[in-house]
Amino acid sequence: MSRPTALVIGGGPAGLMAAEELVRAGCAVTLTEAKPSVGRKFLMAGKSGLNLTMDAPRDQLLAAYDEAADWLAPIIAEFDAEAVQGWARDLGQTLFTGSTGRVFPEEMKASPLLRAWLERLDGQGLTRHTRWRWTGWTAGNAPTFETLHGPVAMPADVTVLALGGASWSRLGSDGAWARLLAEQGVEMTPFAPANAGLQVNWSDHMQSVLGQPLKGVALSAGHLRTRGEAVISRRGLEGGGVYAVSKAVRQGAAVTLDLMPDLSVPDLIERLSRPRGKTSWSNHLRRVLKLGPARTAILQEFGRPLPADAVGLADAIKALPVRHAGLRPLDEAISTAGGVSRAALDDGLMLRALPGVFCAGEMLDWEAPTGGYLLTACLATGRWAGRAAAAHSRVMQPGTPSRA
């Protein structure tokens, strides 16, 4: 009897994890990737230090997924932060945990981990094709691809779609797959930017601080408050502190900036009330608060005209309204919200409208902040979908294509 055949479309972490589970289950697995190589967004994310997961209790880990936490709970319980670390160590990675709980490979980069993973998968018999762009299905329900050698149809007993979100299209996550699924009756949630920067049209006086970090600040939007660094970029404010409140911004909440979160309003009033003689307000601020050029420029940009009294100035420093033009465009976001809705999936992440087709990773309708949560959920959903697809393949007649 021939082995069940499985097709994984998408070569990011979710797709590779699904492929590994299918191979382990004894399926003949083919993985396709539209780009010239797999894991391109994974490698890009690792350029500034590959944040694998957040070393936190499971409840804290799940809370980061907000309204998606309930349906992701059993999936992440099966592959939580501890499991992610064990998986990486099995691939020869030495890990360390930073002061914030973020877990990184000692080498910081993604390439050694990806290389070891691909070597293991290739050794297990995985077949890989790159520059294969998925285009839909034939009338006989076989997935179709545009390749360098022309159109190809590849029937399979089960298929796992791990096609990414709709940001960073140059790395492969362009969201083009959404139309193909919607045409098949799959319920979709519209895409929206997540972990995105703020678009700000700076005045000319900000030119001298472009590219500088805003350190030691806190941002608030709606019920969210975060301590984290921001960067004054040419196009606005970016960085982890900004990304953490982007969901609330997307939902219409105003943003405020606390330039001195370690000092209370009374503390600031006391310092600002010290005699300044003939010293200008800006020089007085520099002397008694040591705001530095970047924070001073931001205060002047968003607080202009600055209050001429200590109480008003203290209030401005603690809750500076950030005037912005919304989030940066979807394609510039670190990740996306929206995608395949929870209602479109069964408990094994199989599409109700397309039996035998499973989904995993960022193409599902969940979002999370940066800090290892994104990669953890991609790996966990890939593993879950791969296992469910393997189980489904065993109850099918080998060689009979599903709606996949």
Please report, for residues 197, 217, 257, the alpha-carbon distance to residue 231 in angstroms, rounded to integers and kept in the order given: 10, 11, 13
**What DSSP designation does 178 have?**
H
Which DSSP string do the residues of 78-146 spell out, in sequence order? TS-HHHHHHHHHHTT--EEE-TTSEEEETT--SHHHHHHHHHHHHHTT-EEEES-EEEEE-TTS-EEEE
Tokens representing 43? Answer: 């490698």
So what's the pLDDT on residue 371?
87
> Coil, strand or helix: which one is 54?
strand
Q: How far apart are CA 117 and CA 378, in angstroms?
A: 15
Buried b (16+ CB within 10 A) or exposed e, 28-44: bbbbbbbbeebbbbbbe
Q: Answer yes or no: are the C-beta atoms of 370 and 224 closer than 8 Å.
A: no
Nearest CA among 121, 319, 135, 141 for reference residue 220? 319
Question: Residues 282-318: pLDDT tens digits?
Answer: 777 778 888 889 999 999 999 988 887 889 999 999 9
- The total number of residues written for the chain in this structure: 404
Q: Once rounded to an integer, what is the mean pLDDT over residues 19-37?
A: 96
- Half-sphere exposure of residue 180, counting CA atoms within 13 Å on the CB side? 19
Please report, for residues 25, 85, 146, 164, the alpha-carbon distance to residue 90 in angstroms, rounded to integers and kept in the order given: 19, 9, 36, 25
Is residue 7 scored above 50 in pLDDT? Answer: yes
What type of residue sits at position 252?
Answer: G
Out of 132-136, 279-283, 311-315, 398-402, pick the least confident: 398-402
Q: How far apart are CA 347 and CA 351, in angstroms?
A: 10
Please report, for residues 89, 101, 113, the alpha-carbon distance to residue 106 in angstroms, rounded to integers and kept in the order given: 11, 14, 11
Question: Residues 45-81: pLDDT tens digits?
Answer: 767 788 999 998 888 899 999 999 999 999 999 999 9
Question: Residues 74-100: pLDDT tens digits?
Answer: 999 999 999 999 999 999 999 999 988
So what's the pLDDT on residue 396?
61
Q: Which residues contact 127 (CB under 8 A, 6 or more apart)?
A: 28, 29, 30, 31
Tokens representing 210? Answer: 């472009």
Tokens representing 155? Answer: 């029937």
Which of 293-297, 380-384, 395-399 ranks highest by mean pLDDT? 380-384
Q: For the chain, which domains are there?
A: 5-193+334-394 (3.50.50.60), 198-321 (no CATH)
Q: Answer yes or no: are the C-beta atoms of 268 and 318 closer than 8 Å.
A: yes
Q: Once rounded to an integer, what is the mean pLDDT over residues 175-185?
A: 94
User: pLDDT band for position 403 (50/70/90)?
Assistant: very low
So what's the pLDDT on residue 99?
86
Is residue 376 scored above 90 in pLDDT? Answer: yes
**Of all helices (H) and strands (E), which one includes residue 381?**
helix 373-394
Q: Once rounded to an integer, what is the mean pLDDT over residues 325-332?
A: 93
Mean pLDDT of the chain: 91
Q: Report percent pLDDT > 70 for the chain.
A: 97
Q: Answer yes or no: are the C-beta atoms of 381 and 14 closer than 8 Å.
A: yes
- Half-sphere exposure of residue 329, counting CA atoms within 13 Å on the CB side? 6
Tokens representing 198? Answer: 């703020």
Question: Residues 187-221: pLDDT tens digits?
Answer: 999 999 999 999 999 999 899 999 999 988 999 99
Is residue 398 scored above 50 in pLDDT? Answer: no
So what's the pLDDT on residue 1?
60
Tokens representing 245? Answer: 């409140």
Is residue 404 scored above 60 in pLDDT? Answer: no
What type of residue sits at position 39?
Answer: G
Place of tokens 């968003």: 302
Better-scored residue on pLDDT, 284 or 181: 181
So what's the pLDDT on residue 49?
84
Nearest CA among 372, 382, 379, 376 for reference residue 50? 372
Q: Once rounded to an integer, what is the mean pLDDT over residues 129-147?
A: 93
Q: Once rounded to an integer, what is the mean pLDDT over residues 228-256?
A: 93
